[in-house]
Chain A
Amino acid sequence: MSERKLVVASIIGALGISSAAVAGDSPFGYIYTTDTHPKGKWELEQWVTQRYRQSTGDYTAWQYRTELEYGVTDALQTSLYLNYNSVNAFHNKPDGTTGPGAFVPDAVDPDARYKRTFFESVSNEWIWRVLSPYKDPLGLALYIEPSYGSQKRELEGKIILQKNFLDDQLVTAVNLTAALEREKFHGEWEKESEAELTAGVAYQFAPRWHAGLEYRHHRGYAGYGFGDSKREYSANFFGPSVHYADRRWWVTASFQMQLRNARGYTDEAREDIIGGRFYGEHHERQEFRVRVGIPF
C-alpha cells in the first residue's frame, strides 16, 4: 500500500469506528475554551500546522502534535503531547541566503535547499476549570504545560476566559499566555520569554458547525522576564476558523495571516521586519492549522 493510501485508510478507518461527540473540543484553532473532558474519558487529537512564507525565497514549516487527552475529573483534564516538525527552506533570509533560525541550523549551505524532519519534545498539559460559562457569569480555567526536548524546553501557563451568548450559540474566549523557554541555538542554550493575548468569537450557525474569527498578539522577550527592557518584538495575527463536530469526531481548521504592524525593539528584531511583518523567531507570513479529535 502506498504511503498516501495508508494515510487515507488510517483516517477513514479511524473515523468509521470512531466514537461519540466530544466535550473538550474547541471551535478555535489557536484559542482554548474552558470546556474540559468528562471524568474517565479519553480523546486522541492530531494537530497539523503549516507555517508558510518568510520575506523571500521558499519557506514552509510543518508542526505536528499528537495528543492523548484524559479527563481526571469533570473539571481537570490532562494531556500528553508528542511534538515533531519538518522544514523546507531555500533562500529564505532577507539577504537571499538559506539561513539559520526557524528550524534551520547554523551550519547550513547558504545556497542550498534545506530539508529536515525531527522530533522536538514531549509536553504534559493540565487544564483546571474553575468556573463554568454554563453556570457562572464567566468561564475561567487555568492551564500549565511543561515541554521537554533535547533542543528545546518550555514552561507555558495560560489564563483561559470564556463567555457565551445567545443560548451558548455565540462563544467568545480570551487566553492570556506566558511562556519561559530554553532553546539550543548557535550551540548554546538561549533563554527567552513569550507572552500572548488571543481572543476569538465563534458562532454555531447550524447544529455541528461553528464559524469564527481569531486574533493573536504575540510578544517576545530576551531572557526570562517580561519587562520593557527585555522586549524584542511584537507581531499580530488574524484570521477565520471553522469547526465541525458530531458524535463520532470533530475537526477545526484555522487560517492566520500576520498583519503588517509588527514592531521591533532591538536592532536584530528590526532587521527581521520586512513589509511590516516580523520574520524572526519562528514567525512566518501565514499559518494554517487543522486539528482532528476522536474521543473514546
Chain B
Amino acid sequence: MNRWPALVAAPFAVVAPAAYGTVYLSVEQAQHAIFPGAGFTASPLSLNAEQRNAIQQRADVKVQSQELKAWKVSDGGWFFVDQVLGKHELITYAVGINANGSVRGIEILEYLEAYGYQIRDAAWRNQFAGKAATDRLKLDQDIRNISGATLSCRHVTDGVKRLLATYEIALRQR
C-alpha cells in the first residue's frame, strides 16, 4: 500500500497554531477616541472624476473608491473611515482631520492579517498627529517603519496621505 500520500499530509495534522484577525474598535469608539466629547454628522462623500484625478496627482496614491465614509465633526474637523489592502485582507482604519487640515489622530478598527498588527501601537499611530497634506508621509523618512509590518505601514501611510489630499481638494471649503 502506498503510504506516501498520508505522509505528505500528516505534518499538517500536528500543527496547532493560534488564530489571528480582530475587530478592535467600532466606528463610534474610534470617533470618540480621536474627538472626545464631540458631535458627529454623517456626510458621506462622493468624489467626481476631477476631484479623484486631483487627489491622485497630489497624493501620488491611487483612489480606489469614489465613495468615502465621512462625518463632519462639531468642532469643524472631519472624521473618515477607510480601507486599504494589506497583504491579503483589507485593513479598516479611521482618520480624524482638524479644521486646519492637520491630522488629529488615526485608529485601526479592523486588522485581519496575522502579521503587521503592530501598526495598532499608539507610538506608531501618533507619528501622524499634526501631519498635513504638505508633509512627505513616506516610510523611513518622516514616518518610522515597523520591521516585519512594512506592507501594512506603507498602505496605511498612503491612505492617510490620500485622505489629507481629499480634505484639501474636496472638503476644506465646506
A residues whose Cβ falls under 8 Å from a Cβ of B: 3-4, 6-11, 13-15, 17-23, 38-39, 41, 44, 46, 48, 64, 66, 71, 74-75, 84, 86, 117, 132, 134-135, 166-169, 204, 207-208, 245-248, 250, 292, 294-296
In the complex, chain A residues whose CB is within 8 Å of the CB of B155: 167-168
B13 in contact with A66 (CB, 8 Å): no
Give 9 closest A-B pairs by Cβ, nearest first: A20-B114, A296-B17, A19-B17, A14-B12, A20-B20, A38-B148, A10-B13, A10-B9, A74-B148
A3 in contact with B114 (CB, 8 Å): no
Bound complex: CA of A39 vs CA of B147, how far in Å?
A: 9
Tell whether B127 is near chain A: CB-to-CB under 8 Å: no
Bound complex: CA of A246 vs CA of B89, how far in Å?
A: 7
B15 in contact with A294 (CB, 8 Å): yes
In the complex, chain A residues whose CB is within 8 Å of the CB of B87: 21-23, 245
Beyond A20-B114, A135-B145, whether A10 also contacts B89 by CB under 8 A is: no
Which chain B residue lies CB-closest to A75?
A: B147
Tell whether B174 is near chain A: CB-to-CB under 8 Å: no
Docked complex: B116-174 residues within 8 A CB-CB of A: 116, 139-140, 145, 147-151, 154-155, 158
Q: Sample 14 A-B pairs with CB under 8 A, ordered by A number.
A: A3-B3, A8-B9, A10-B9, A10-B13, A13-B13, A14-B15, A21-B88, A22-B87, A38-B148, A46-B9, A134-B139, A245-B87, A247-B112, A294-B12
Bound complex: CA of A252 vs CA of B88, how far in Å?
A: 14
Tell whether B19 is near chain A: CB-to-CB under 8 Å: yes
B137 smallest CB distance to A (angstroms): 13
A64 in contact with B8 (CB, 8 Å): yes
Binary A-proximity of B58-82 (CB < 8 A = 1, otherwise 0): 0001101000000000000000000
Bound complex: CA of A210 vs CA of B148, how far in Å?
A: 22
Which chain B residue lies CB-closest to A67?
A: B11
Beyond A23-B87, A74-B148, A167-B62, whether A44 also contacts B114 by CB under 8 A is: no
Beyond A7-B6, A44-B11, whether A18 also contacts B61 by CB under 8 A is: no
In the complex, chain B residues whose CB is within 8 Å of the CB of A84: 4
